[in-house]
Amino acid sequence: MSSTRPLALVTGASSGIGLEVPRQLAERGYDLVINAEDETRLHQAAREIRAAGAAVVETVTADLRVPQQTEALFVTATTPGRPLDVVVLNAGVGHGGAFRENDLADELEIIDLNVRSTVQLAKYVVRDMAARDEGRILVTSSIASTMPGSFQAVYNASKSFLQSFTQALQNELEDTGITLTSFMPGPTETDFFHRADMDDTRIGQQDKDDPAQVARQALDALFAGKEKTVTGSARTKAQGLAGKVLPDKLKGEAHRKMAEPGSGDQ
């Protein structure tokens, strides 16, 4: 990796928003280190990112639910001696359904990937950037972070954690050259809801935002130095505004109507 272009690391980069972000970073002049668990899809993503203009795209297949693989990703991304100018902590998973009925393993998988791996990787990245007093970190939160997640209880809670975590680090690092930005997409046209077993829900069946638009707005916010932003369509942004004033009980009930299994058939 001898290129003199700036370098970015993106996790969860095989599809959806996670693919659009590195593709657009390539268009903005960045080389990439991209990570995902699915090796086949990751290599396909790398081809698309190279086509967008990246001179260098290194792939690291790793399951970030496993602490040793999270550490190995960081070591691989930084070993060549090039500093990470941008890090996008995007890897995440969701699972729908009633908490009392879901398998415990599925719920813990959400915590391991969305929360634990993000904290672990952030620890390495923040220390590295602090030593240089520069760098940008983008964290994928969600509009779900603003509301109780009926039938997505652990997922919404994990995104609330990320939102609080990012804001705390922003305060701790306000006197440094490190920029942290969180972005909160709404329902987006990816395979998220299918993988979360939510095809039969209203939210799974509704029209969704364009991942390219979401990625562009997130990166614009990052490079503008904003602390957080709601990304996507006007409808999603309106939902973000409503979330600031509606009582949690009402937001929880609204979420239930969208996420309850079978609600898409009603």
Catalytic annotation, residues: 155
Per DSSP, 101 falls in state T
Per DSSP, 115 falls in state I
List C-alpha distances in Å: 32 to 75, 141, 209.
Answer: 15, 21, 25
Helices and strands: H and E segment counts in the chain: 11, 7
Q: How far apart are CA 136 and CA 124, in angstroms?
A: 14
- 45: exposed, middle or buried (C-beta count within 10 Å: 0-12, 13-18, 19+)? buried
Per the CB < 8 A criterion, the answer to whether 123 and 233 are in contact is no
List C-alpha distances in Å: 52 to 26, 127, 138, 144.
Answer: 6, 31, 20, 31
Q: How far apart are CA 103 and CA 127, in angstroms?
A: 36
Alpha helices in 82-152, H assignment, sequence order: 104-110, 117-132
Tell me how far the alpha carbon of residue 222 is from its chain's centroid: 13
